[in-house]
Amino acid sequence: MPVTQRHGVGVDNRVADAYGAIALLRSLPYVNGRRVAAMGGSHGGATTLVAMLPPGPTDTPLDAAAPTA
């Protein structure tokens, strides 16, 4: 059965998850927080690139350009 709607998997949510994971890793006493990085392929790669953008208000949600089919 094809998925017609996907909730909670937009770029904004993935970026927030990536920052949360990095914060968690940096909080661990046995992790050198200065050496934590993010990388990914496909959607993960796009998420990594968007996460590098400076934060700020946007006029259009990041998912607006995503295909709907």
pLDDT digits (tens, 9 = 90+) for 15-69: 888 889 999 999 999 999 999 988 888 888 888 888 888 766 654 555 554 555 4
Residue 41 lies in a domain: yes
Dihedral of alpha carbons 47, 5, 3, 68, sign: negative
Copy the structure tokens of residue 48: 């990594």
Residue 50 lies in a domain: yes
Residue 47 lies in a domain: yes
> Is a pLDDT exceeding 50 seen at residue 1?
no
In this predicted structure, what is the pLDDT of residue 30?
Answer: 96
Dihedral of alpha carbons 57, 11, 19, 36, sign: negative
Residue 69 lies in a domain: no
Q: Domain tally for the chain?
A: 1
What global pTM score does this model have? 0.62
More confident site: 35 or 5: 35
Residue 42 lies in a domain: yes
Structural domain harbouring 17? 11-54
Question: Region 7-12: what's the mean pLDDT?
Answer: 74
Q: What is the DSSP string of 6-41?
A: --S-SHHHHHHHHHHHHHHHHHSTTS-GGG-----S
